Amino acid sequence: MPTLAARRATPVAAAFLIVAALSIAGCSPKSSPEPMQPPVYTAEPTPTPTPTAAPSAELVAGDVVPADVAEKINAGPAMFEDRAYPMPDGAFVFVAGDAPAPPEVLEAAGRTIFAATGNLISGANSTDSYIAGYVALTESVAAQSQATGKTIVYVGLMAMNTPPAPDWPPMWGIDIAGPIGVYSSKEEAVAAAQAWAGEDPARRAVVIVDNYTGTLG
């Protein structure tokens, strides 16, 4: 027959076993981690760039434009494109690439050419000075063509005799291929130049310098 001490120890041992069993049951193996899911990105539509209007989009030939707009216009190609021509008073006049140059622009270009060449004929006192004057003429015509965006056809007095040389009539010339050559009169030369320029008025322009009378046109 068990003793009282033994009987009392039995519940304690049973309780210990129960606690131990509960402890062991609670120590279950760690569950496997959830597999990592790849990040999901929401595709944002690429914004369409807003077209930037050309600086000259709303301009018409002859408009006066601010200096900052003129700078943007003149940053592009020169020939046969939109230009902002610098006038003698500092203003800029819009020259459309697809339209004839405004009359005030052609007059300013002609005066610039005339000032660069001076009186090519009567002012030349030697062959060297004549050649120098003609070089200045061609350089000025080229510069004004770039400034206006038009091919400038120069018509001017190319040769004449002064006393005591024989009294031959003045000879007028055109400096551009097509009607290039020497003509017996100003009227004939101007008519030939204007006919040639009239074939493409948006790209060609005529500047007439009357060296004989020292006037423009």
Query: What is the pTM for the complete model shown?
Result: 0.67
Query: H-helix or E-strand containing 187?
Result: helix 186-198
Tokens 């350089």 belong to which residue? 139
Q: Average pLDDT, stretch 141-155?
A: 93
Q: Residue 136's pLDDT is what? A: 83
**Would residue 8 count as lying in a domain?**
no
**Would residue 136 count as lying in a domain?**
yes
Distance of CA 143 to the CA centre of its chain: 17
> For the chain, what is the domain count?
1
Q: Is the pLDDT of residue 147 over 70?
A: yes
Q: Residue 50's pLDDT is what? A: 45
- Three-class SS of residue 154? strand
Higher per-residue pLDDT: 37 or 103: 103
Domain that residue 176 falls in: 101-216
Model confidence at 167, pLDDT cuts 50, 70, 90, reads low
Cα(193)–Cα(119) distance, rounded to whole angstroms?
21
**Would residue 172 count as lying in a domain?**
yes
**Would residue 35 count as lying in a domain?**
no
**Would residue 158 count as lying in a domain?**
yes
Paired strand residues for 152: 205
**Would residue 111 count as lying in a domain?**
yes
**Would residue 53 count as lying in a domain?**
no
